[in-house]
Amino acid sequence: MGTVQYTDDAYTTLASTVGSSDTSLTVTSSSRFAGLLTTTGDFFFVTLRQTATGTKETVKVTNIVGTVWTVVRAIGPNDSNLSFASGDGVYLRLGTNLLDEIRSSSNQTKALFTTATGTVDVLTAILGITPQSLVDGMQVHVRTPGQNTSLTPTLNLNALGAKTITKNNGGALAPGDLNGEAILRYVSSGTRWELLNPKAGNVNWFSIVTYGADPTGTVDATAAIQACINAASSAKAVVYVPPGTYKLIPATAWQAEGGTDYCAITMVSNMVIFADPGATFRIADGVYSYPSKRIAMEMFGTNQQLNNVTIIGLTMDMNGINNALDPSDGTSPNVDTFSQAHIKVSGGTDVVGHSAYINDVYIEKCRFINGPGTSCIGTSQTNYAGDTLGRRWTIKDCVFYNNGNYSQDHSTITGSGLNGLLVDGNTFYTDVPFGTASFFGPRAAIEIHGRNSIFTNNIVQNYYEEHMERSVVRRAPRSREGRTFCRCPQPYRGLRQNVRQPSTA
């Protein structure tokens, strides 16, 4: 790049007016600025000062012919193009902050500031101190227009070419990593910008779209999503689900405690899924049909022993209207207790040779909708005495909506043998109360057969259960509303601060 010239004592005045869009100006004398532009590419900075108001604008001088200067306008931090009168001052006293930036720019050791334009994922920016090329190790401080949504946003600095922005280990960004103020370092070996202050942390993210998942809901996305989950879990990375609707087909047969089930996604250890708002996994139409294809199916399933599963922000739609348990009879629902769960863990020693469980599960801000069967989340299931099942599950701030519509025995969350379940801040509701007209509807929000369970700060509406059991030997009084929302026939830790909404019937 050209030499950056600076001093702190040169002064002259404008010989004529300068409009806000002018790119040249005429001064009364250039003598005190002689020698500052000696080589092609050299430039220097001056401050123009309105005598009447004291308002200033910093400009870059790129050429001098006599007393006529060619300039680039408003290059200082927070500058704007102003108009100036004849006699207004022209100073080479630039101020400490801008001088620091100019001095540091010659060896590229300090970040230079600029405000980016373009979109949140395709950034363009102009530095007032113009680099002739992108130099390895150079840093810039860029104010971005918002949070990135792409995993591979780009920055085109001073029209030197769009380069991908990565984490400082070369990994893909997370959504929201660029969030207002970005400190970027150029890496010439990878022709990329590295983000030194990611907002979402230094975690690798694997996008299901990168693996081929169709976000329009037209093409089956099951295999692509499974491949992404498998790869991310092996790499201890996060599965990222961009906004869109993803069609899933439960076609993988697996042995559950009650027989053969079919799941779309096989859960694995270290499965961490983060979904953007508007991201929906939806079961395809017609997977279940009566009487030709009566199957138990799940969106996520396992009969293995797993650890560390997290799902945040995902809408899971079982599409129960188009997979109704008995679509042949709209007035007399099928009373079979078929599983049509969003998430199911099932299998015991007597079935698969070991107890199936997941330890350390965290589910937050998800939506579980349109599940026609017996539950939305089956945390564990075995009929074999003595099997050890899962521990430490948290289900928080989720919405369970219009589930159990074709089941006579729907409990939204079941915890058969689970040790340690926190269900906090969730909403359970259905549009039509239990037992209305053409379907049975949900009976209980939670059914607990394990230990150390807490059900607190939840809202439940239009559910029905005749009683709430507090332990094996002691029953709670009947609910006066006939709308009890919890069954727990084993020792429990608490049912606190929950809201039972009256039926809308």
Q: Quick one: which of 133, 130, 144 has its CA closest to 195?
A: 144
CA of 231: how far to CAs of 142, 428, 492, in Å?
33, 34, 38
Given pLDDT bands bounded at 50, 70 and 90, which one contains residue 259? confident
Question: Does the structure show a pLDDT above 60 at 331?
Answer: no
Q: Is residue 228 part of a domain?
A: no
Given this model, what pLDDT does residue 477 score? 29
111 in the same domain as 39: no
Given pLDDT bands bounded at 50, 70 and 90, which one contains residue 337? low
Model confidence pLDDT, tens digit, residues 402-428: 888 777 778 899 876 778 888 888 988
Given this model, what pLDDT does residue 26 score? 95
Q: Please, are residues 414 and 375 in contact by the beta-carbon 8 Å criterion?
A: yes
Q: Of 39, 62, 95, at which residue does a domain stop?
A: 95
Given this model, what pLDDT does residue 478 score? 28
Query: Which two tokens mark 126?
Result: 């102009």
Q: Is residue 205 part of a domain?
A: no
* Range of lowest pLDDT (1-5, 177-181, 406-410, 427-431): 1-5
372 in the same domain as 437: yes
Given this model, what pLDDT does residue 469 score? 32
483 in the same domain as 353: yes
256 in the same domain as 377: yes
Q: Quick one: which of 465, 450, 456 has its CA closest to 412?
A: 465
51 in the same domain as 119: no
Strongest mean pLDDT among 3-17, 263-277, 334-348? 263-277
Given pLDDT bands bounded at 50, 70 and 90, which one contains residue 484? very low
The mean of the pLDDT values for the chain is 78
Q: Quick one: which of 413, 349, 341 has its CA closest to 383?
A: 349
The better pLDDT of the pair 123, 140 is held by 123
* Range of lowest pLDDT (137-146, 291-300, 369-378, 474-483): 474-483
- Taking the C-alpha atoms of residue 291 and residue 35, their distance in angstroms, rounded to an integer, is 92
Q: For residue 331, with 0-12 CB atoms within 10 Å meaning exposed, 13-18 middle and 19 or more buried, which class applies?
A: exposed
351 in the same domain as 317: yes
CATH number of the CATH domain containing 359: 2.160.20.10
Mean pLDDT of 467-472: 30
List Cβ neighbours of 458 (8 Å cut-off, separation of 6 or more).
Answer: 423, 424, 425, 426, 427, 428, 445, 485, 498, 499
Mean pLDDT of 7-36: 83
Judged by phi (left if over 0) then psi (alpha if -120 to 50, else beta), residue 223 lies in: alpha
- Taking the C-alpha atoms of residue 225 and residue 248, their distance in angstroms, rounded to an integer, is 9
Percent of the chain whose predicted confidence (pLDDT) is above 70: 77
Q: Is residue 297 part of a domain?
A: yes
- Taking the C-alpha atoms of residue 400 and residue 379, their distance in angstroms, rounded to an integer, is 16
SS3 of residue 95 by DSSP: coil
Q: Is residue 183 part of a domain?
A: yes
Q: Of 74, 95, 116, at which residue does a domain stop?
A: 95
Q: Is residue 125 part of a domain?
A: yes
Model confidence pLDDT, tens digit, residues 82-92: 999 999 988 87
Mean pLDDT of 341-360: 86
List Cβ neighbours of 403 (8 Å cut-off, separation of 6 or more).
Answer: 318, 320, 368, 369, 370, 371, 372, 376, 410, 412, 430, 442
Given pLDDT bands bounded at 50, 70 and 90, which one contains residue 35? low
Mean pLDDT of 136-141: 78
112 in the same domain as 25: no
Considering only CA atoms, give the Rg of the chain: 32
Alpha carbon 276 to chain centroid distance?
4
- Taking the C-alpha atoms of residue 398 and residue 383, their distance in angstroms, rounded to an integer, is 29
Given this model, what pLDDT does residue 203 score? 65
361 in the same domain as 447: yes
Mean pLDDT of 107-117: 60
Q: Is residue 204 part of a domain?
A: no
Name the one residue in this structure whose structure tokens are 């040169």. 10
Given this model, what pLDDT does residue 130 score? 65
Given this model, what pLDDT does residue 413 score? 92
Mean pLDDT of 241-250: 93
Q: Is residue 213 part of a domain?
A: no
112 in the same domain as 90: no
Given this model, what pLDDT does residue 135 score? 80
DSSP 479: P
Q: Of 95, 127, 155, at which residue does a domain stop?
A: 95
Strongest mean pLDDT among 112-121, 132-141, 253-262, 305-314? 305-314
- Taking the C-alpha atoms of residue 198 and residue 175, their distance in angstroms, rounded to an integer, is 10
* Range of lowest pLDDT (123-132, 162-171, 277-286, 305-314): 123-132
Question: Does the structure show a pLDDT above 90 at 358?
Answer: yes
- Taking the C-alpha atoms of residue 447 and residue 468, their distance in angstroms, rounded to an integer, is 9
Question: Does the structure show a pLDDT above 70 at 137?
Answer: yes
253 in the same domain as 172: no
Mean pLDDT of 123-140: 79
Mean pLDDT of 382-388: 72
428 in the same domain as 314: yes
414 in the same domain as 463: yes
CATH number of the CATH domain containing 85: 2.40.10
- Taking the C-alpha atoms of residue 164 and residue 155, their distance in angstroms, rounded to an integer, is 7
User: Is the whole model's pTM more than 0.75, yes or no?
Assistant: no
Given this model, what pLDDT does residue 472 score? 27
Give the total number of structural domains in the chain.
3
Percent of the chain whose predicted confidence (pLDDT) is above 90: 32
Handedness of CA 368, 370, 376, 382 (dihedral sign): negative
Given this model, what pLDDT does residue 147 score? 87
Given pLDDT bands bounded at 50, 70 and 90, which one contains residue 466? very low
- Taking the C-alpha atoms of residue 489 and residue 271, their distance in angstroms, rounded to an integer, is 31
Q: Give the residue numbers spanning the domain of 81.
A: 4-95
The number of residues making up the chain comes to 505
Q: Is residue 115 part of a domain?
A: yes
Question: Does the structure show a pLDDT above 50 at 500?
Answer: no
Question: Does the structure show a pLDDT above 80 at 24?
Answer: yes
